Amino acid sequence: FLKRHAKTIWACDFVSRKILTKFGVTDCFVLFFIHLETRKVHLGGVTTCPNRDWLAQQARSVCIFFNEQETKPEYLLHDRDGKFNEHFCEILSSERIEPKKLPAYSPNCNAFAERWVQSFSNECLNHFVIFGEGHMRHLAQSYVDFYNGKRPHQAKGNLPLGTPEDFQPQAIGKINCQEFLGGLLRHYHREAA
C-alpha cells in the first residue's frame, strides 16, 4: 500500500528537546512533515507551547504548502500524540486531506518520520546546547535545508534527495567542501570541469 500510494502520503511528528531560556530550562517542540515518496521534509513550526491555536495555525499553513505541491496529499499519517487534536484533523479534512491516526505503541507504522527524528537528533541536536526558541528554529531549518538538498541518502544510492536518476558524478575535478552549522555538517562535490 505504502509503495503504491507514497506519492500522496505525508507523515508528521514532533521532535522535543530541552532548551535554555532566560526563564530556565523548558521543553521545545519542532513539528515537521515528511513526504513518503521523496523523503523531503517540510518544517512546520517550532514552539515551547504547542497548544490548540498554534497547532491549528500550523495545519492551515501546511495546507497552503500542500496546495503548492505538484501532487496534493490524500493522507497525513500521525501518531496518537494528544497535540494532534480534533481541530487539527478538521482543518486537514476541510482541504480533502485525510488524517490517519496510527495505532498506539507502533513507531514502525511511522518509520520515515521516526527515522528523520533519529537523523536530526544524532546529526544535529545532540551536538548543541540550545539557547532559546529562535536558536532551535535556526538549527531545525538549517538541518532541513541540508537534509533536503545536500545530505546523501542510502536508499537513494548515497545521493542527495532530488538528484536525477540518470545522474553521473564527475570523475575528475577539484573536490570542494560546503559546510553547514559551523562545519558540523558537510557536503562534498566536484567542481565542473
- pLDDT surpasses 70 at 137: yes
The Cα 77–Cα 124 span in angstroms is 25
pTM > 0.85 = yes
pLDDT tens across 69-113, in order? 988 999 999 999 999 999 999 999 999 999 999 998 888 889 999
Q: Ramachandran region of residue 107, left (φ > 0), alpha (ψ -120 to 50) or beta? A: alpha
The Cα 138–Cα 30 span in angstroms is 11
What's the grid cell of residue 146? Answer: 541540508
pLDDT recorded at residue 2 = 67
Q: Is-contact 180 186, C-beta < 8 A?
A: yes
List, in order of start, the domains of the chain with CATH numbers: 2-163 (3.30.420.10)
Exposure b/e, 154-171, CB count within 10 A at least 16 = b: eeeeebbbeeeeeeeeee
Q: Lowest-pLDDT range, 46-50, 59-63, 78-82, 104-108?
A: 104-108
In the structure, what pLDDT confidence band is assigned to residue 153 with cuts at 50, 70 and 90?
Answer: confident
- pLDDT surpasses 70 at 64: yes
- The closest alpha carbon to 102, from 84, 77, 83, belongs to 77
What's the grid cell of residue 124? Answer: 544535529
pLDDT recorded at residue 192 = 74
